[in-house]
């Protein structure tokens, strides 16, 4: 028994591997289907129905009550690490809950498997576990009571006996529980998918309609049956007897009726609502007994009015309208409406369609009511949602849904693996797995293909024209005034149908499309949550305890993709453990680590595995964990550990005295360690408290309460600032917003930083550019705001060559100022004569700070008299000083001989 095994860690479980099989498939040395099934069988034979694949649980239906769900057992699993105890659904529930609380994220548990495999039971066990383990408040008690207590109602209306399961859920459901940040449940919600409505009007041999019909007929009081016009005989009703097993020994409808009535009270159904609900159920039974005879033309005529009158009475709708609706089709021509009589087949079809619609809508209404009663009524915001998802009935599960969920699983698992590798700094090794996205695409893309098979209406017997007929019928029924039960006096029926837009002529979404869309939405929703998985397997078809049908199990192992799961989990490394944990267990195997390793755990592990002779390819050292590739490496280590323990035991007998004193020393040492640890904790608590107090007072002036905190704030701001400084002088926006205490300092720092950047910038300017800028500064001082042509001139650089000055070496007082200009019409160089040439030019060059700008030439100075037109001034000496234009067109300047 699981409890008897007590606390086992995963390594401990290895030692028991031959007796009870492997607890985690990941540790199977051989990952073949045969090995997996044999392991399941070995465990099943010892009533060990749960086995892990990593954090996924495989559960095999035992078909008998096991003593593993007691309160005591729940206590054992509370707050315990996943791998510390033998596999159990409680371990998963507990870990999901605690991870949610510590990581503040949303989780879901996906329970899948074929009909009768134990999904509903598993979900109930999880709810029961939360009911016991979560902190208790009055509100939470109400929520969980309602979640648990609503179950009989949901099962009565949504479950039925099938060949595979006496209590098979015939709808897909998704339940979620909302928790607040303290872990208290504050609300809940149930979402239902696709009730198998066709069951209301048709059951295969050996199967029944939904339980509630039988429960009402068997368990309802005489008074109630009279009010509803029902007989206490299930065989009397066409809708209850097609499977020829209305009464079965394994189901006690009478008793179940009592729990349903009780549950209705818990979920706050008042008498009126309850009464209306039973009236709807009864109306469906009466509707099933409405039969038709052909008239002379083969058109449908009601056999008698008794049943129809009951339907009309129970639903509160007009009997004539109902009759007309069941036997005629209304055709709208341009100007008039024509009533076209139905054939018998059509009339039966419409009768059944109405029964399905009434029941289906009522089921949805019921789920909504349950949801309302579980709504989070606290205004405090709930922070976390824990979702529990049960994929139910077979049709829903097979094909597309399974493929889609499998795809989701692989995606999420690979993602989780990849994230762990990344966090541990281990290189990701690509995993080969079959990506079934291709199947999902095929199903999703080809609307008319696979997906339409899921349309329950298409599953009806009949040829393809039935579908066309149905569509037309649905369109037409939409505006048939006599059909719309939305006039009903039964509040439930009225509420259910009032939402239907009676004027909308658009074709309604087919069931397959609704299914696809809901699955799509669900997938999106689930992708945003952390996943936990339970895979349920059916041990045998005959629902017998102790029978393990290998062929059936093999089929499910395939169908649930368990081998794929295993492969993905085993991708790369089968086993990983924190260095501390690994060392703690195996340290006796290496003299360097035994009895104590005082260094860094990773170093100890490295020494240990080298001592054990691990080959480099067999393991990898992550940041906090060791990763071991093959289970056999771990087994060898474990075997060595067992032997070592044994040897140590022998040695201890021989050296009793020595050991006992060693033990004393060890005890003292442990005591000292524990005291140290305690002191450390006390110190940590003090620091944390101080920190919190300081945080609260962070806005206050500096005091003993907050000085350390403020220093911390200052340091961390400065550290962050250091890495986020603006990089260019023009960047005026990048500057970290300072905490209140650093506003002033931050402003000073900001100015200093900009000044520093400006200085750096200026230093980096080349001399030529600098000279230019200096000149521009002078220009600005002279002209800015005074000359209108100044602004456009700013961007134009000054050229060194634009102005040059030449004089001759003689004493003629002539100065030639060369001015480059681009405009050909402009006058060219300037010639001036000046008495105080030396003074003028010296002052000019001082002002310009450019002594080399004046060139003294001998003989002749070239002139540009207009752009591109050249001439010259020739200099010479003579008796008299004179200036004239020479024959060659040059200007001749004669200075007097000295
Ligand atoms: N853990 C369990 N311990 C004992 N019996 C179980 C367990 N799980 C399932 N069973 C038995 O198997 C039956 C079918 O299980 P359950 O109704 O949970 O199947 P299911 O997977 O929800 O089926 P469906 O999809 O048809 O609703 C239960 O009524 C119960 O008798």
CA 119 to chain centre: 23
State both tokens at 765: 């300017």
ipTM confidence score: 0.99
State both tokens at 279: 């009236």
- Mean pLDDT taken over the chain: 78
For ligand 1, the distance from its centroid to the CA atom of residue 63, given in whole angstroms, is 8
For ligand 1, the distance from its centroid to the CA atom of residue 279, given in whole angstroms, is 31
Q: Residue 223 has what pLDDT?
A: 96
CATH code of 403-494+508-525, in short, is 1.20.58.530
Write the pLDDT tens digit of every residue in 468-489. 333 433 433 333 333 475 566 6
Ligand 1 within 6 A of CB of 376? no
Beta bridge partners of 862: 872
117 is in an annotated binding site: yes
Q: Residue 449 has what pLDDT?
A: 34
Kindly tell me if the per-residue pLDDT of 252 is higher than 90: yes
Backbone angles phi, psi at 54, to 5 degrees: 65, -120
Q: Which residue has the higher pLDDT, 524 or 289?
A: 289
Among the ranges given (222-231, 509-518, 530-539), the one the predictor scored with the smallest mean pLDDT: 509-518
How much is the average pLDDT of 727-743? 86
CA nearest to 386, candidates 521, 520, 532, 267: 532
Domain ranges in the chain are: 403-494+508-525, 575-647, 803-896
Ligand 1 within 6 A of CB of 556? no
- Ligand 1: which of 118, 543, 556 to mutate, most ligand atoms within 8 Å of CB? 118
Ligand 1 within 6 A of CB of 395? no
Kindly tell me if the per-residue pLDDT of 837 is higher than 70: yes
Query: Which atom from ligand 1 is nearest to the alpha carbon of 390?
Result: 22
Q: Residue 468 has what pLDDT?
A: 38
User: What dihedral do alpha carbons 496, 151, 459, 408 form, nearest 10°?
Assistant: 110
Ligand 1 within 6 A of CB of 282? no
Q: Which residue has the higher pLDDT, 467 or 524?
A: 524
- Ligand 1: which of 64, 111, 121, 252 to mutate, most ligand atoms within 8 Å of CB? 121
State both tokens at 443: 């199903």
Backbone angles phi, psi at 298, to 5 degrees: 85, 10
Ligand 1 within 6 A of CB of 536? yes
Q: pLDDT exceeding 90 applies to what percent of the chain?
A: 25
Q: Which residue has the higher pLDDT, 96 or 414?
A: 96
DSSP state for residue 382 in the 8-state scheme: P
Kindly tell me if the per-residue pLDDT of 103 is higher than 80: no
Report d(CA 342, CA 243) in Å as an integer.
28
How much is the average pLDDT of 384-409? 49
- Specify the pairing of strand 56-60 against strand 530-537: parallel
For ligand 1, the distance from its centroid to the CA atom of residue 117, given in whole angstroms, is 6
Ligand 1 within 6 A of CB of 116? yes
Beta bridge partners of 576: 627
Beta bridge partners of 388: 109, 175
Decide if 210 contacts 200 (C-beta within 8 A).
yes
DSSP one-letter string for 455-504: -GGGGSSS-THHHHHHHHHHHHHHT-GGG-GGG-SSHHHHHHHHTS-TT-
- Ligand 1: which of 1, 61, 113, 168 to mutate, most ligand atoms within 8 Å of CB? 61
Give the helix/strand (H/E) hosting 819.
strand 814-819
Q: Which CATH architecture has domain 575-647?
A: 2-Layer Sandwich (3.30)
Cβ neighbours for 387, distance < 8 A, ≥ 6 positions apart: 106, 107, 108, 109, 174, 175, 176, 177, 526, 529
**Confidence grade of residue 329 (pLDDT, cut at 50, 70, 90):** confident
Q: Residue 107 has what pLDDT?
A: 77
DSSP state for residue 47 in the 8-state scheme: T
Ligand 1 within 6 A of CB of 168? yes
For ligand 1, the distance from its centroid to the CA atom of residue 89, given in whole angstroms, is 14
CA-to-CA separations, 588 to 12, 598, 616, in angstroms, rounded: 15, 14, 22
Ligand 1 within 6 A of CB of 428? no
Query: Which atom from ligand 1 is nearest to the alpha carbon of 543?
Result: 12
Report d(CA 429, CA 427) in Å as an integer.
6
Query: Which atom from ligand 1 is nearest to the alpha carbon of 117?
Result: 21
Give the helix/strand (H/E) hosting 874.
strand 869-878
Q: Residue 382 has what pLDDT?
A: 47
Ligand 1 within 6 A of CB of 390? no
**Confidence grade of residue 804 (pLDDT, cut at 50, 70, 90):** confident
Burial degree of 221 (CB within 10 A; 0-12, 13-18, 19+): exposed
Ligand 1 within 6 A of CB of 113? yes
Report d(CA 60, CA 286) in Å as an integer.
41
**Confidence grade of residue 392 (pLDDT, cut at 50, 70, 90):** very low
Q: Residue 344 has what pLDDT?
A: 92
Report d(CA 309, CA 228) in Å as an integer.
11
């Amino acid at each position: 028994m699981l409890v008897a095994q007590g606390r086992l860690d995963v390594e401990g479980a290895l030692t028991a591997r031959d007796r009870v099989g492997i607890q985690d498939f990941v540790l199977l040395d051989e990952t073949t289907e045969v090995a997996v099934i044999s392991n399941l069988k070995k465990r099943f034979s010892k009533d060990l129905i749960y086995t892990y694949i990593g954090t996924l649980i495989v559960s095999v239906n035992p078909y008998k009550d096991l003593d593993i769900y007691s309160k005591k057992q729940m206590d054992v699993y509370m707050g315990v690490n996943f791998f510390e105890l033998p596999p159990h659904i409680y371990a998963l529930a507990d870990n999901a809950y605690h991870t949610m609380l510590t990581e503040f994220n949303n989780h879901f548990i996906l329970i899948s498997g074929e009909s009768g495999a134990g999904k509903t039971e598993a979900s109930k066990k999880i709810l029961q576990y939360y009911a016991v383990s979560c902190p208790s408040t009055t509100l939470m008690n109400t929520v969980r009571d309602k979640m648990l207590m609503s179950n009989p109602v949901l099962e009565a209306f949504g479950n039925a006996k099938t060949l595979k399961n006496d209590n098979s859920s015939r709808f897909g459901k998704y339940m979620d529980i909302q928790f607040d940040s303290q872990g208290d449940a504050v609300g809940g919600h149930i979402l239902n998918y696709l009730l198998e409505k066709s069951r209301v009007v048709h059951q295969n041999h050996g199967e029944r309609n939904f339980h509630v019909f039988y429960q009402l007929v068997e368990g309802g009081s005489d008074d109630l049956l009279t009010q509803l016009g029902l007989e206490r005989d299930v065989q009397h009703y066409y809708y209850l007897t097609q499977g020829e097993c209305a009464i079965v020994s394994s189901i006690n409808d009478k008793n179940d009726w009592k729990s349903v009535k009780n549950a209705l009270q818990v979920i706050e159904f008042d008498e009126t609502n309850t009464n209306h609900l039973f009236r709807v159920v009864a109306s469906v039974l009466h509707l099933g007994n409405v039969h038709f005879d052909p008239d002379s033309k083969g058109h449908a005529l009601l056999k008698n009015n008794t049943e129809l009158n009951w339907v009309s009475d129970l639903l509160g709708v007009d009997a004539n309208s109902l009759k007309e609706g069941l036997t005629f089709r209304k055709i709208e021509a341009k100007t008039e409406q024509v009533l076209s009589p139905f054939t018998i087949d059509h009339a039966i079809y419409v009768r059944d369609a109405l029964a399905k619609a009434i029941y289906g809508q009522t089921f949805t209404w019921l789920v909504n009511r349950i949801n309302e009663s579980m709504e989070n009524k606290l205004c405090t915001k709930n922070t976390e949602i824990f979702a529990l998802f049960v994929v139910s009935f077979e049709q829903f599960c097979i094909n597309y849904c399974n493929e889609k969920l499998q795809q989701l699983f692989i995606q999420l698992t690979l993602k989780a693996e990849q994230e762990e590798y990344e966090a541990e700094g281990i290189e990701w090794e690509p995993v080969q797995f079959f990506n079934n996205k291709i199947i999902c695409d095929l199903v999703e893309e080809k609307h008319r293909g696979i997906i339409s098979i899921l349309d329950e209406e298409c599953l009806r017997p009949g040829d393809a024209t039935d579908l066309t007929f149905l569509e037309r019928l649905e369109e037409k029924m939409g505006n048939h005034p006599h059909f719309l039960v939305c006039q009903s006096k039964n509040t439930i029926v009225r509420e259910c149908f009032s939402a239907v837009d009676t004027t909308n002529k658009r074709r309604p979404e087919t069931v397959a499309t609704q299914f696809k869309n809901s699955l799509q939405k669900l997938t999106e929703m689930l992708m945003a949550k952390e996943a936990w998985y339970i895979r349920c397997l059916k041990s045998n078809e005959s629902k017998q305890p102790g029978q393990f049908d290998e062929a059936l199990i093999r089929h499910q192992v395939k169908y649930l993709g368990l081998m794929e799961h295993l492969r993905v989990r085993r991708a790369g490394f089968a086993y990983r453990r924190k260095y501390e944990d690994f060392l703690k267990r195996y340290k006796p195997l290496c003299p360097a680590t035994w009895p104590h390793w005082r260094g860094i755990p990773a170093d100890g592990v490295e020494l240990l595995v080298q001592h054990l002779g691990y080959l480099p390819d067999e393991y990898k050292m992550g940041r906090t964990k060791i990763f071991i590739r093959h289970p056999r490496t771990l087994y060898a280590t474990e075997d060595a550990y067992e032997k070592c323990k044994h040897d140590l035991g022998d040695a201890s007998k021989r050296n009793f005295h020595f050991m006992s004193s060693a033990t004393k020393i060890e005890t003292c040492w442990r005591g000292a360690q524990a005291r140290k640890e305690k002191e450390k904790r006390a110190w940590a608590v003090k620091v944390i408290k101080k920190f919190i107090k300081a945080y609260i007072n962070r806005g206050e002036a500096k005091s003993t309460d907050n000085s350390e905190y403020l220093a911390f704030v200052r340091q961390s701001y400065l550290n962050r600032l250091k890495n986020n400084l603006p990089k260019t002088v023009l960047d005026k926006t990048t500057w970290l917003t300072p905490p209140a205490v650093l506003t002033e300092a931050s402003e000073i720092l900001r100015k200093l930083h900009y000044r520093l950047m400006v200085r750096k910038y200026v230093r980096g300017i080349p001399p030529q550019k600098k000279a230019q800028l200096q000149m521009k500064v002078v220009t600005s001082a002279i002209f800015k705001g005074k000359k209108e042509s100044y602004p456009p001139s700013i961007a134009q650089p000054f050229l060194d060559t634009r102005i040059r000055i030449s004089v001759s070496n003689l004493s003629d007082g002539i100065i030639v100022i060369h001015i480059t200009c681009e405009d050909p019409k402009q006058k060219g160089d300037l010639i001036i004569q000046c008495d105080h040439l030396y003074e003028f030019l010296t002052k000019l060059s001082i002002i310009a700070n450019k002594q080399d700008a004046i060139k003294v030439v001998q003989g002749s100075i070239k002139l540009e008299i207009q752009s591109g037109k050249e001439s010259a001034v020739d200099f010479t000496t003579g008796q008299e000083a004179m200036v004239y234009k020479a024959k060659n067109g040059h200007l001749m300047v004669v200075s007097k001989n000295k």
